[in-house]
Amino acid sequence: MSEKEEKKKDQRLLDLFEGAKGRRPKTDQELDEWLTSPEGKAARHLKSRPFLAGAKRGDHNSGERC
């Protein structure tokens, strides 16, 4: 993996942590522990799955209120 790819992966993992916890990890160890926890594993699994645009959320472009 190139250095650029490695940085992109690291940023993605930090973003996952921040999205779940609402803050950045205080240490690399905290991030590593969270990534190996059930919550971290689930977040990585869900993030790796593509979502269909607008699926199950509804298309709000129609002007109708939900």
pLDDT digits (tens, 9 = 90+) for 6-64: 999 899 999 999 999 999 999 999 999 999 999 999 988 887 666 555 555 555 555 55
pLDDT at site 46: 83
Q: With CA atoms as reference, report the closest residue to 44 among 52, 55, 35.
A: 35
pLDDT at site 49: 64
pLDDT at site 3: 92
Instruction: Please state whether the predicted TM-score (pTM) of the whole model is above 0.95.
Output: no
Q: Residue 32 in contact with residue 13, Cβ under 8 Å?
A: no
pLDDT at site 12: 92
- Stated length of the chain: 66
Residue extents of the structural domains in the chain: 12-42
Tokens of 40: 């971290």
